[in-house]
Amino acid sequence: MPFELPPLPYADTALEPYYSAKTFGFHHGKHHKAYVDNLNKLLPGSAYESLALEEIIRATAGDASKAGFFNNAAQVWNHTFFWHCMTPNGGGRPGGALAARLDAAFGGYEKFAEQFKAAAVGCFGSGWAWLVLERDELKVISTPNAETPLAQGQVALLTVDVWEHAYYLDYQNRRPDFVQTFLDHLVNWDFVARNLPG
């Protein structure tokens, strides 16, 4: 069964002016689609043909000879996850149990935001910044290229894509402005809360 490009969870204009329909046209319509198409070209006749996306990622992680499978499968997963991390009227301080978890782990929302922004801005070249759960601990990490917490025994809670293709049309070279806008106006905290186990 070939994989399909999942639709965006909102209209492509829903996050304007912070994330434009033009960027979605390329980022979802071209980049994300290319990862799906490339994976579908690799799978027939391979050992991974009947596996779920998450299983392909875990089965090929860390194996350089399977980099084509891993990179495309992980990028399909990472992008689908990223779209859900954003919502119209999102961002700012979360409420409820999540706020308490961020307070306990980072010493408050501001400290969390500072760490998340530093990880995103400091990620050299292409990659992702994440809020993850590792065992029972909340952590901010960054991963290069297609690397994903899924392959590292961590539960992904939130991510921002900091490949240039994620922000160049709207923010040009100003990655810090994109990440600040993501935190202030786009984060879907309800989605993040739903990713917390139990």
Under the criterion CB under 5 A, does residue 161 sit at the interface with Mn ion?
yes
Q: Which stretch binds Mn ion (CB under 5 A): 118-126, 159-167, 172-180, 184-192?
A: 159-167
Q: Which stretch binds Mn ion (CB under 5 A): 42-50, 85-93, 117-125, 160-168?
A: 160-168
CA torsion sign for 100, 106, 109, 112 is negative
The distance of closest approach from Cβ of residue 75 to Mn ion in the complex, given in angstroms and rounded to an integer, is 7
Which single residue is written with the structure tokens 């875990």? 58
Nearer to Mn ion, 20 or 46 (CB): 20
The partner residues of 158 in beta bridges, in order of sequence, read 131
Under the criterion CB under 5 A, does residue 147 sit at the interface with Mn ion?
no
Structure tokens at 24: 């979605």
Under the criterion CB under 5 A, does residue 163 sit at the interface with Mn ion?
yes
The distance of closest approach from Cβ of residue 123 to Mn ion in the complex, given in angstroms and rounded to an integer, is 13
The one-letter amino acid at 43: L
Under the criterion CB under 5 A, does residue 83 sit at the interface with Mn ion?
no
108-124 in b/e form (b: 16+ CB < 10 A) is: ebeebbebbbebbeebe
Helical spans, DSSP H, in the chain: 21-26, 33-42, 53-60, 67-84, 96-106, 109-122, 168-171, 175-181, 189-195
The distance of closest approach from Cβ of residue 82 to Mn ion in the complex, given in angstroms and rounded to an integer, is 7
Contacts (CB under 5 A) with Mn ion, residues 103-142 = none
Q: Which stretch binds Mn ion (CB under 5 A): 11-19, 39-47, 108-116, 164-172?
A: 164-172
CA atoms within 13 A on the CB side of 1: 7
Residues forming the site for Mn ion (CB under 5 A) = 161, 163, 166
